[in-house]
Structures are given as C-alpha cells and as structure tokens.
Amino acid sequence: MMSSNDPGSKVSIAIGNTIPEMARVVDLVDRFAAVHGIPQAIGNDLNLCLDELLNNTIAYGYDDKGPHSIVVTLSLTDDRLIAEIQDDGKPFDPREATLAPKGSLQSREIGGLGLHFVKTLMDEVGYSRVGRQNVVTIAKKLLGGTADGDC
C-alpha cells in the first residue's frame, strides 16, 4: 500500500446523475484497489456501498430532470480507505436513516436496507452540508492490507 503522501493515493471522478454513469465509479474503485493492493473483498464492499449511495442520490436527490454532477473521490489516509461523494441534491444525511429494518420482508416498509448495509460494511459514515452540496464520507480501516473485523 502506498503512503498517504503519495499523490497517487487520491483520485476523483465526476459523473452525471444517471444510473449508467455509476459503472465508471465501479471501474475507478477496481483500478484504485488493484494499484494499492487493497483486498478484493474490501473493494467489493466499497463498490456495494457507493452503488447504494449513488443510486439513492440519482433516484431521489433531485427535484428536476436536468443534468447534475456527482463527484466521487477515493483516498488512502492513515490505513483507511475513504470515499467521498459530493452532490448538489436535496439535503440528505444517510446516518439518520433507520439502522435496522424492522419486521418481515413482507411487512416492513420499503427502503432503508441498502443504507443498513452501508453502515454495517463501513467503519465510518460521515455527512455534512457545505453550501448547496451534500458531502458523504465513508471509510474502511485497513490493517496490513486486510479488513479490520469481519463484514
């Protein structure tokens, strides 16, 4: 794994607010993980979480059908893999979603399960509203190139 001072330990991509654009983020995560020796399981977990968060933003975050830009930044800092998502959608703090869906699959309300996965798979979930931008940060601890704990 490269040190956090290496300029290659941080990359960003801007995508449009359409579902097909999400494939570009998957490719970025896969390449970033390969370059930095991040275990495939951690890369897969990150892709699952980013898929959920980006899908929510694209599906529910905008009142209009116009084009919007969503920026995803990946970085390695202090043995943590960090992903940051910035968008100009409606304010939404994923930490405030119900943590554990209640009831059977047939009886419970729709929604919340994906965010439950995000909170379960990642070690940290952060949110802030900066001006008109949502900034969601998710992080996974790395120890000697492996996950810290089981997911």
- State residue 148's pLDDT score: 39
User: Does the pLDDT value for residue 2 go beyond 50?
Assistant: no
- State residue 98's pLDDT score: 61
Q: What is the pLDDT of residues 100-135, one digit of tens each?
A: 555 555 544 555 678 889 999 999 999 999 999 999
Q: What is the pLDDT of residues 51-92, one digit of tens each?
A: 999 999 999 999 999 999 999 999 999 899 999 999 999 999
Closest CA to 29 of 78, 85, 89: 85
Give the torsion sign (CA, 68, 117, 121, 40): negative
Cα angle 143, 29, 22; round to 5? 145
CA distances from 44 to 40, 63, 74 (A): 6, 31, 14
- State residue 104's pLDDT score: 55
Q: What is the pLDDT of residues 135-144, one digit of tens each?
A: 999 999 997 5
- SS3 assignment, position 27: helix
Region of 136 (left: φ > 0; alpha: ψ -120 to 50; beta: rest) is beta
The full set of domains in the chain, from first to last, is 7-147 (3.30.565.10)
- State residue 78's pLDDT score: 84
pLDDT band for 97, please (50, 70, 90 cuts): confident
Q: 10 Å Cβ neighbour count for 145? A: 12
Return phi, psi of residue 14, to 5°: -110, 130
- State residue 145's pLDDT score: 45
